[in-house]
């Protein structure tokens, strides 16, 4: 069964706009929530991650918002650039667990 649900499946945003991707999880034991970025022909690369002791984490133009009571977290890409065009995956696990549970992915297209 899919433990992490991700939406939307795809989105198109204009250069300089904001991209928002949402994820929801079921397992309350999860306490590590990373986001991965994948370009065509490449493997996923860790972009940013959050743990439930904070509600928001920002790294450059990328921000994770976390709502523990709702079991939801989201990725915001500010000032979206054409180079941000990629597929983004949310994931979840217990800290230091050996496996990650991934969402189905969101393909982001940034129009110049």
Cβ closest to another protein, residue 56 vs residue 97: 97
Rounded least distance, CB 37 to another protein, Å: 11
The contacts of residue 39 (CB under 8 Å, 6+ apart) are: 86, 87
CB atoms within 10 A of CB 105: 18
d(C-alpha 91, C-alpha 36), whole Å: 8
Cβ closest to another protein, residue 13 vs residue 104: 104
Distances (CA, A) of 47 to 23, 34, 87, 110: 15, 7, 12, 17
Cβ closest to another protein, residue 65 vs residue 87: 87
Cβ closest to another protein, residue 12 vs residue 46: 46
Rounded least distance, CB 80 to another protein, Å: 22
Rounded least distance, CB 112 to another protein, Å: 25
Rounded least distance, CB 79 to another protein, Å: 25
- Binding region for another protein (CB under 8 A): 4, 6, 32, 34, 41-46, 49, 89, 91, 93, 95-105
């Amino acid at each position: 069964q899919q433990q992490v649900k991700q939406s939307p499946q795809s989105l198109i945003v204009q250069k300089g706009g904001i991209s928002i991707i949402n994820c929801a999880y079921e397992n309350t034991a999860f306490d590590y929530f990373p986001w991965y970025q994948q370009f065509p022909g490449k493997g996923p690369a860790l972009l940013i991650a959050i743990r439930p002791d904070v509600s928001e984490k920002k790294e450059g133009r990328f921000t994770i918002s976390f709502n523990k009571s709702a079991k939801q977290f989201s990725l915001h890409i500010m000032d979206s650039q054409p180079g941000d065009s990629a597929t983004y995956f949310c994931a979840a696990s217990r800290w230091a667990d050996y496996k990650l549970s991934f969402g189905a992915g969101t393909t982001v297209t940034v129009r110049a």
